[in-house]
Amino acid sequence: MQREKIFNDDILELENSLIIHTPCPKPHWVLKGGLNFKGKNYKLIKYLKLEPSNFYKFEASNLSFPLYEEEKEKTFNISSDLAFIFAPLWGFLSEKYQYSLLKFERHNFINYFYFSIFLTFFVFFPSLIFDVVRILQKREAFYFIIPHLALCIYFVHESLLRFITYKFERKIKGSLIAFFIKPLYYMAYGEFQ
């Protein structure tokens, strides 16, 4: 019996089996059906998910499986953790980016998509009303209010359009705010593309 800790993965190597405890789901292991650890092939026989932990049990096999690469798994763990931490921001991204994050199996994009719509709407709609009231009162310089008013109108329109598009066409439209979120997405997604 030999126990190792490789980044966040706790690996218990028994005579003919391997048990791995990891906080990050490893869908690529499930997809391949096993892995090659230290030159030995192991077939996945059981996967148990107990939030926030994931347990994988492998048995020795004659089949060949992809090699367990420490650096690749470390990168995957970091990317998965960052994807989980920044999940509320992913709702602003377009469909293609949201679906790519599903590979980490830690991202429920519909909830965060709705969160982004409601956040945008409930931040900019009151500002829109406030700007209209200020314009009607004619107390402040009009040319200072117009750019802010235009921005509020755009984001209220965008949030309503995103909501309606998803409800009727089942398509996720990205927000203009995604321009600022994409650098975080590329950082979180890492080399695991």
At 52-111, the pLDDT tens digits run 788 999 998 888 888 888 888 888 888 888 888 888 898 999 888 888 887 777 767 888
Q: Same domain, yes or no, for 98 and 9?
A: no
H or E element at residue 40 = strand 40-50
Q: Are residues 16 and 40 in the same domain?
A: yes
The tokens for 54 are 């994931």
Q: Is residue 180 part of a domain?
A: yes
On whether residue 160 sits in a domain, the answer given is yes
Greater pLDDT, 34 or 108? 34
The residue-averaged pLDDT of 161-181 equals 92
pLDDT for the residue numbered 192: 47
> Are 55 and 21 in contact, with CB atoms under 8 Å apart?
yes
Give me the number of domains the chain comprises. Answer: 2
Confidence of residue 12 (pLDDT cuts 50, 70, 90): confident
Predicted local confidence at residue 191, as pLDDT: 46
* Same domain? 139 vs 166: yes
Percent of the chain topping pLDDT 70: 93
Residues of the domain holding 7: 2-68
Question: Does residue 115 sit within a domain?
Answer: yes
Percent of the chain with pLDDT over 90: 27
* Whole-structure pTM value: 0.73
DSSP state at residue 139:
-
Quick check: 3 pLDDT over 80?
A: no
CA atoms within 13 A on the CB side of 128: 14
